[in-house]
Structure 1
């Protein structure tokens, strides 16, 4: 149901592009926060002596660094299925229709 024949308007493509853009922004923000936390903190504060807010933001940024590239890869595969006639998610071409769900 994600093929171009089911959704002919560019709305789905714009939604996918906006998710790519939001993912890139989240990725760069998490890199910025991790760099700031590790390089700009006062030297008397070791990592085990940081506040709980800093720890929670560090863990959130690390989780974003791990999950956003997978989301971007799945969205790129979806765009390729829609426009370049690949069959990542089409069972008629040998693809797996549940692969998109398993990527998450």
Structure 2
């Protein structure tokens, strides 16, 4: 599928319109420590940004015992117990959907 000139112009205008917001979001994001075991702050930031953008958000518990049994498991912290899970269901025809891990939408 090729992009016509009008479509390209609409995309450029949309990028321009959101550019300052994108810069601010990126600046906010890189201020968080996000190394293993210190993910909670950045997870909270991303969680709120995605929720504010209209995604349904939730946190779910990780089974520490299942992770410990995995041959490639690593260091585990309490911050890792509540990862975030964004999901969005599009009702528009031709839209894309990110499906909830449980299969619910």
TM-score by length of structure 1 reads 0.30
Q: Answer 1 or 2: higher relative contact order, Cα 8 Å, separation at least 6.
A: 1
Richer in helix (by share): 1
Richer in strand (by share): 2
TM-score by length of structure 2 reads 0.30
